[in-house]
Amino acid sequence: MPKQHRGVFVTFEGTEGAGKSTLMKAVADVLIARRVTSKSIVITREPGGSRVAELIRNIILNEPMDPWTELFLYEASRAEHMAETVLPALREGKTVLCDRFTDSSLAYQSHARGLPWKEVSALNNTATQGVAPDLTVLIDVDPAEGLKRAKEQNRFEAEGVKFQTKVRQGFLKARRANPNKWITIKAYSASPEEMAYKVVLEIERRLGKRKIG
């Protein structure tokens, strides 16, 4: 999909307890307040974000499994989410804010679980049909503080600070590989509204003259 003909795609990444969902809601509010887009804003997530993808999510988050099986399920969820939710919204010129995306597979499945980076990248590319975010927001939190703040414990959060530290390093590696795609926000460094304002200014700056619906 040529970039100039589509809506805006922003993904949010971070380790557990970074405050992604609060920031995403605040970003949507600021986008509306600043009239950045006249079309609707879609807030979605991975794994999940469509009917079948949510069913896959339920399996991934609750059943222990082989790391390769897990990767394929994340990618299956992603393929379905792209086909059913993200791509149709972008084609209609909508703004899509997505809680986790391909960089989570690089950070968790590759860097933290040890699967080969190149293969995870290749599968990401297949599952997304080659469509990449316009901007990825890394909400960077100290892993120990994040775990303290995370309210719900899923089976990943139970793995503790050491695992989250590896995941954080994975995100930093993904950022080094493609620095222009990222903006980094220090978690809890300001109010959600102030952090959201920073993200929206960056969206506006990057899109420049590109027409947003």
Q: Name which of residues 89 to 118 contact ligand TYD (CB under 6 A).
A: 99-100, 104-105, 108-109
Interface mask (CB under 6 A) for ligand TYD, residues 15-54, using x and -? -x-----------------------------xx-------
Chain centroid, CA 29 distance in Å: 18
Nearer to ligand TYD, 37 or 57 (CB): 57
The strand ranges marked E within the chain are 9-13, 41-45, 95-99, 135-140, 182-186
Which ranges of 135-213 would DSSP assign to H, the alpha helix?
A: 143-149, 160-177, 192-207
Minimal distance, residue 48 CB to ligand TYD, in Å: 8
Whether 116 contacts 87, CB under 8 Å: no
**Residue 208 corresponds to which amino acid?**
G
Structure tokens at 14: 């971070």
How far, in Å, CA of 213 to CA of 131, rounded?
19
Count of chain residues binding ligand TYD (CB under 6 A)? 13
Interface mask (CB under 6 A) for ligand TYD, residues 141-170, using x and -? -------------x-x--------------
Minimal distance, residue 99 CB to ligand TYD, in Å: 6
Minimal distance, residue 100 CB to ligand TYD, in Å: 4
Minimal distance, residue 133 CB to ligand TYD, in Å: 13
Torsion of CA 49, 51, 52, 55, to 10 degrees: 90
Nearer to ligand TYD, 103 or 134 (CB): 103
How far, in Å, CA of 174 to CA of 107, rounded?
7
Minimal distance, residue 27 CB to ligand TYD, in Å: 16
Q: Residue 35 burial (CB < 10 Å; 0-12/13-18/19+)?
A: exposed
Under the binding rule (CB under 6 A), the answer on residue 13 touching ligand TYD is no
Nearer to ligand TYD, 7 or 143 (CB): 143
Helix axes 67-81, 117-127, angle to 10 degrees: 30
Structure tokens at 27: 């970003």
Work out which of 6, 41, 53, 74 binds ligand TYD, going by CB under 6 A: 74
Q: Which residues bind ligand TYD (CB under 6 A)?
A: 16, 46-47, 61, 74, 99-100, 104-105, 108-109, 154, 156
